[in-house]
Structure 1
Amino acid sequence: MALDRIINIVLRAAELVFATIVAGVTGQHLHQYRHASNWSQGRWIYTEVIAALSMFFSLIWLIPFSWSFVHWPVDIILSLCWWAAFGLLVNMLDGSCGYIFNWNNVHPISGDQCGKFKADIAFTFLSALLWLVSALLGLYWVTSHGRRATVDAAQRQNSRRWYRRSRV
């Protein structure tokens, strides 16, 4: 079925775009506050590393082959890492910019600091969701193709030719 491969390509492309946006906004924040200690920038550094890993894996797995579905455990791990980054950033917000899902002033490029920060949080959340959906799609693909392979093997074994010798 080609639909699952098309969905996989769309998900990988969206993962790449969202990880790039998060890397850009987070990198801008790290550049702006580069004189702060590394300990105080730990959440941002973690988010930047997860965005870089996500860009790397989504670029590699954007190639439309069926083997890209069997990497669903890595998709789950990356999704969990994105959820951790989302939690760290939300915890860092601590109500200073208003309600977390109030996205009125969200803009990753020309917004104020709160708008950029909320854009980073929003795209982190969306990245976590996309990696989770990719993992679920991969798990579905692997289990459905595994069942088909066992059924096909059983049918091949049971369909003996008339000229084959009995194994008894």
Structure 2
Amino acid sequence: MGLLGMTASYLLFSLLHFAQFVLAVTVCGLYGVDLQRARSQGKYVDGKWVYAEVVGALGALTAILYLVPFILRFAAVTIWSFVLFVLWIALFGLFGRMYIHEDPEGNGDIQRMKNAVWVDLANALLWLIGFIASATYWWTHRDRRSRFTGRAKLGRNGSTRSTGWTA
């Protein structure tokens, strides 16, 4: 048991997903400034910034969805977490190449984008941690059945569990 009937794993996953949500919303805000400025001035909206907003929105929505208890038991959660990790790494690579070595020289916009790159990396690392943790959770909590009939549930060591009745 845990705090108020919640297990420690659920509390840790909730903390991880909350951090993912906060950083994803932060990314949306950091890149959204430039998108709003371009829209209000009637200028071309660059697809790189749109990609950043889409990845941030997907990360935020997924983090909220993952707060639902017992959703981590599905293998699709692990696969989607890996996809999000790849999207965040691509975002980090895209903007990192543009801004990591750039000297802001007092320009607040360039400094904001340099900061956004590091938030992208933090997001990618959190999704990598989430991927590894959800894969481990799924592997240890999956429902394993016997090889031939599929009716008997198997324990962690491969033996059948007692069903309460005998033949």
TM-score, normalised to structure 2, is 0.77
CA distance in 1, matches of 2:17, 2:35: 26
CA distance in 2, matches of 1:30, 1:52: 14
1:25 to 30, 35, 52: 30
Equivalent position amino acid for 1:85 in 2: L
Matched, 1:143 2:139: yes
Q: Which whole-Å deviations, capped at 9, do the CAs of 1:43-66 have from their partners, x for residues lacking one?
A: 111111000111111111122x12
Q: Is the 8 A contact 2:16 2:130 kept in 1?
A: yes
1:94: Cα distance to partner? 6.2
In structure 2, stretches of 5+ residues that fail to align are: 2-6, 145-152
Q: Name the structure, 1 or 2, with higher relative contact order (CA <8 Å, separation 6+).
A: 1
CA distance in 1, matches of 2:30, 2:87: 18
Matched, 1:72 2:78: yes
- Identical aligned residues as a percent: 22
CA distance in 1, matches of 2:23, 2:100: 24
Show the 5 A alignment for 1:62-141: 62-63=67-68, 65-70=69-74, 71-93=77-99, 95-97=101-103, 112-141=108-137
In structure 1, stretches of 5+ residues that fail to align are: 99-104, 106-110
Show the 5 A alignment for 1:44-59: 44-59=49-64
TM-score, normalised to structure 1, is 0.77
CA distance in 2, matches of 1:21, 1:48: 10
Aligned length: 147
Q: Which whole-Å deviations, capped at 9, do the CAs of 1:96-125 have from their partners, x for residues lacking one?
A: 227xxxxxx9xxxxx811221122111111
